[in-house]
Amino acid sequence: MKKKVWLIILAVVVVLGLWVASKYNGLVKLDESTKTAWSQVENVYQRRADLIPNLVNTVKWAAAQESGVLVAVTNARANATKMNIDIKDAQAMADFQNNQGELSSALGRLLMITENYPQLQSIQAFRDLTVQLEGTENRITVERMNYNNVAKQYNIVLRTFPTNIVAGMMNFDPASLFEAKDGAENAPEVNF
């Protein structure tokens, strides 16, 4: 009889161990998917940062008196590219989003310069760079959405019972998400 009890206990321990291992491996896969999606977000942000010096130099040639805007774009680019964040740190994610928002705003001001310098619009290099920049902004939006979807899936699994027990024991933390900036629900006003 004792042998049967020990075999049952051993079977329960083995099944429980396999279940924990399965949940752990699932969490690791989702965590790695989240990190991969984040890497792609960083890639497209880096692409944008790499385009900016060329755009600034092109504008510099045609609009030298707009140095304040050019300096602002350069500084915003420096701030946006120096951050290396932990995607599970909500404050770091907020700071990252803020720096990227400042860069987007500075780029918007830079592109508005073209209204004052029509000859700039006719320069092929400028047109090519603005098209690439626009495409990159679209890529950023897509990759941020992909990251949020993967991070959301990871966070749901992380919080779902009984996986949350394994996640707690193994120190898995939720991933931070991109969120809209305050006031994003209001459409920008365009005046001509």
Instruction: Determine the Cα–Cα distance for residues 158 and 176; give it in Å rounded to an integer.
Output: 13
Report the pLDDT value the prediction gives residue 129, as an integer from 0 to 100. Answer: 81
The pLDDT tens digits for 16-62 are: 999 999 999 999 999 999 999 999 999 999 998 888 888 777 777 66
Average pLDDT, the chain: 83
Give the DSSP per-residue string, 124-155. HHHHHHHHHHHHHHHHHHHHHHHHHHHHHHHH
Amino acid 81: pLDDT: 79
- The per-residue b/e assignment along 6-16, b for 16 or more CB within 10 angstroms, e otherwise, is eeeeeeeeeee
Residue appearing with tokens 């991933």: 175
Place of tokens 């051993």: 10
pTM: 0.76
79-111 as b/e: b if 16+ CB within 10 A: bbbeeebebeeeeebeebbebbebbeebbeebb
Local confidence pLDDT in tens for the 192 residues of the chain = 788 889 889 999 999 999 999 999 999 999 999 999 999 999 999 998 888 888 777 777 666 656 667 777 778 888 787 777 788 888 888 888 888 888 888 888 777 777 776 676 667 777 788 888 889 889 999 999 999 999 999 999 999 999 999 999 999 999 999 887 765 555 555 443
Concatenating the DSSP letter of every residue in 83-124 gives: ----TT-HHHHHHHHHHHHHHHHHHHHHHHHHHH-HHHHT-H
